[in-house]
Chain A
Amino acid sequence: MNKREPPSQEAFDKLLSWLDPDRDKAAEKYQRIYLRLVRIFAAKGCVDEGDLADQTVNVVAIKIDWLIENYVGDPALYFYGVANKIFLEQRPRRPLPSPPPPPDNTEIERRCHCLEKCLETDASPEERDLVIRYHEGDGRARIENRKRMAEELGITVNALRIRICHIQARLRPCIEECLRQLDW
C-alpha cells in the first residue's frame, strides 16, 4: 500500500485513540495538529499545504500499530518529524512559485464588499467595531490607536492582537466563500 494513500477507517480510529482515549478530545487534538501542520507548510512556502498535511497524516496512520507499541513522547512531534521529511522530499521538485500578482482594483473592491458582508454575518457588532478600529490609521497613529483600544478594554496590546487575530481567522473563510459566490 502506498504510504500516501488515505488510511483505512480502522487505522484512522487507532490514530485517534493514540492521540487520546476520549474520542472528542482525540478529535480536538487531531484538528489542532492538522492545522499546525498546514500552517507550518504554508510558512515554508508550500502552495499545496493542505495536501502535504494530508500526506503527513496518511504516513503516520500507516505506522500506527508500530507507534502505539513503541513511540514515547508527544504525538504532535512525531507528526512534525514526518512533515519535515515530506517537505524536504518535495522541495527539489517544487517549481519556483510566481510572485503574487499586483492588486487589481476590481478584485480589491470585490474583497472589500465581501469583508463588509462577513463583518455583518460572522462577527458580533462589538467584534466588527473592534476589527475596524484596530486597522485605523497608519504608522505611529495606528500603534497609538491600538494602545488606546487595549487600555479601553483593560487588556494588554498583545492580548488585543491575539483577539483580533482570532476574529480575523473566522472572517477569512467567510470572505473566500463570499468571493466564490460572486464568481458564480
Chain B
Amino acid sequence: MALSNHDQTQIREYLLGKLNEEEQQRIEERLMVEDELFDEFEASKDELIEDYCDGELSQNERQWLEEHFLVSNDGRQRRAFALAMKCFHVPVAQVNEAPRPTWFQRFKSLFRTEPAAVINGSSVALVQPWTLVLLTSVVLVALIGLLVGTRTFSRGGGITFTGPTLASNVIKRGAENSLPKKVKLPRNAASLKLRLLLPKDATPATRYEAELDDRINTKQSEVVEFDNEAVSVVIPADQIPRGEYSLKLTAIDAAGARHAIPGEYLFNTE
C-alpha cells in the first residue's frame, strides 16, 4: 500500500511523542508488518536527527528526542552519523547542535510574564518592571560599547577565525591519502586559529613549534596555547590564500630536545 503524506506526518509525530497511546499503538503495529512504512520510519529518523543537529526543532521537541530516541543505541548512532556528516561539509568548530539563543532572544525572553522562563535549560525568575528599565539601560549601554568596540577592532585588521580541530594524518589512518579538512575563511578574517590534536603517546613538552607548509615554502606559525591534548596555532590569513596546506608540529621537552610529532595536519582553505 502506497504511503500518504498523512503517514509521513504521523511517523514524525510518533517520533516526537505527539501521538496518543492508541495512535502510537496503531503506528507500531503497522511498523511491524508494513515494509514501506518501516522504510519511511527509518528515513524520518535520519531527517529528525538532521533537524535536531541543525537546531531546527522546538525546545519541547528537542527535549522529547533527547529523553527518548537519543538515549537508545540507534539514536546515538544516528546522531553520531549526522554530526560526522556535518563535519564532512563544514569545519568542526561550526558544528553546533543547539544554536545558542541570540542576545536579542535572551533579552526578549526576560520580558515574558511567566513566573519562570526556561532558557536553554536554565531558569529565569520573574522580572519586575523596574528591573526591565534597568536591564534595558544596561543592554543599550552594552550595545553601544560593543558597536564602538567592534569598529575599533575592525580597523585593527579583522577577526581571528576559529577553524576546525585537526587530527594528523598519522592519527587518522597511517600516513597516506588522508583528505584535508576544508576551512572556509570569512572575508573579514585576519587570521585563522586551528587546534591540532596530539597523539595519545606524545612526548611531554614545555613548548611547541609549528611549521606551515604550502608545498613550496615553509613558514613558522605562532603557537598560542597548548595542553596535553592539543596545540593551538594562529596563522595570518594572508599566508593561506585558497589552497592546500599542511602543518607540522615539533615538541620541545624540558631538556631542550626536539621531537617531531608524527604526521601532518592537512587543511584546505576556501
- Interfacial residues, chain A to chain B (CB-CB below 8 A): 33, 36-47, 49-50, 74, 76-77, 79-80, 84, 96-100, 102-103, 105-106, 108-117, 131-132, 135-136, 138, 161-162, 164-165, 168-169, 171-172, 175-176
| CB-based contact B54/A169 at 8 Å | no
The interface size of chain B toward A, counting residues with CB under 8 Å, comes to 57
Q: How far is the CA of A77 from the CA of B89 in the complex (A)?
A: 42
| CB-based contact B43/A42 at 8 Å | no
Chain B residue with the shortest CB-CB distance to A78? B32
Tell me how far the C-beta of A171 lies from the nearest C-beta in chain B, rounded to whole angstroms: 7
Stretch at the interface among B33-41, B126-134, B254-262: B33-41
| Consensus secondary structure, chain B interface | helix
Q: How far is the CA of A36 from the CA of B95 in the complex (A)?
A: 31
| CB-based contact B71/A47 at 8 Å | yes
Chain B residue with the shortest CB-CB distance to A98? B71
| CB-based contact B71/A97 at 8 Å | yes
Q: How far is the CA of A175 from the CA of B70 in the complex (A)?
A: 17
| CB-based contact A161/B47 at 8 Å | yes
A–B Cβ pairs within 8 angstroms, 15 of them: A45-B67, A45-B68, A50-B73, A74-B33, A77-B29, A84-B28, A106-B165, A108-B95, A111-B84, A131-B85, A132-B88, A165-B39, A168-B46, A171-B81, A172-B81
Q: When A and B form their complex, which 8 residue pairs have the shortest distance between CB atoms, in order from nearest?
A: A45-B68, A42-B72, A97-B71, A42-B74, A111-B84, A115-B84, A112-B87, A105-B165
Within 8 Å of chain A (Cβ to Cβ): is B188?
no
Chain B residue with the shortest CB-CB distance to A173? B77
Chain A neighbourhood of B172, CB < 8 A: 113
| CB-based contact A105/B46 at 8 Å | no
A165 in contact with B43 given A106-B165, A111-B83 (CB within 8 Å): yes
Partner of A45, one of B32, B39, B69, B197: B69
Chain B residue with the shortest CB-CB distance to A46? B72
| CB-based contact B173/A117 at 8 Å | yes
Partner of A106, one of B41, B84, B95, B229: B229
Chain B residue with the shortest CB-CB distance to A116? B179
Those of B154-175 within 8 Å (CB) of chain A: 164-167, 172-173
| CB-based contact B67/A33 at 8 Å | no
| CB-based contact A113/B15 at 8 Å | no
Chain B neighbourhood of A80, CB < 8 A: 28-29, 32
Within 8 Å of chain A (Cβ to Cβ): is B225?
no
| CB-based contact A76/B32 at 8 Å | yes
